[in-house]
Amino acid sequence: MLGEGDNLPDVTLKGADGEALKLSAYRGKPVVVYFYPKADTPGCTTEAIDFTGLIDGFGALGVPVIAISKDPIRKLNRFAEKHGLAVTLASDEDGSVCEAFGTWIEKSLYGRKYMGIARATFLADAKGTIVKVWPAVKVKGHAQEVLEAVKGLG
């Protein structure tokens, strides 16, 4: 998994609008990028709603929040509409962005091993350098913790 001091990979995703979303387009301002396993599941929904609830705080600091999963665009759109989400949702259907960040990992549930997305968050500064990583996110209070870290960049 990418760590503090690494540069954000220059990758392209599909935004929920179906248009290309390049992380390099965010250079010049800090950016929050978070990975979540699957849209419209309890933990992922709570996390997206929590970030949405604080989106004005991120916006006031000029910091976009980009949420990435392997879900297809149509599922992301339903997810956003159903919950009134204001974060930028992006699709990594082929998993290349998850691979670049190191968030595609082996998981285990009830003794069964499988590959999945690690719930992780990255905060990059205006130069595109990762300044903070949350590698094993616990959803409760996480969005607020990330906002406090963004405020600390000042």
DSSP string over the chain: ---TTPBPP--EEEETTSSEEEGGGGTTS-EEEEE-S-TTSHHHHHHHHHHHHTHHHHHHTT--EEEEES--HHHHHHHHHHHT--SEEEE-TTSHHHHHHT-EEEEEETTEEEEEE--EEEEE-TTSBEEEEESS--STTHHHHHHHHHHTT-
Of the candidates 11, 16, 44, 118, the residue annotated as catalytic is 44
Please say if 44 is a catalytic residue.
yes
| Enzyme catalytic residues | 44
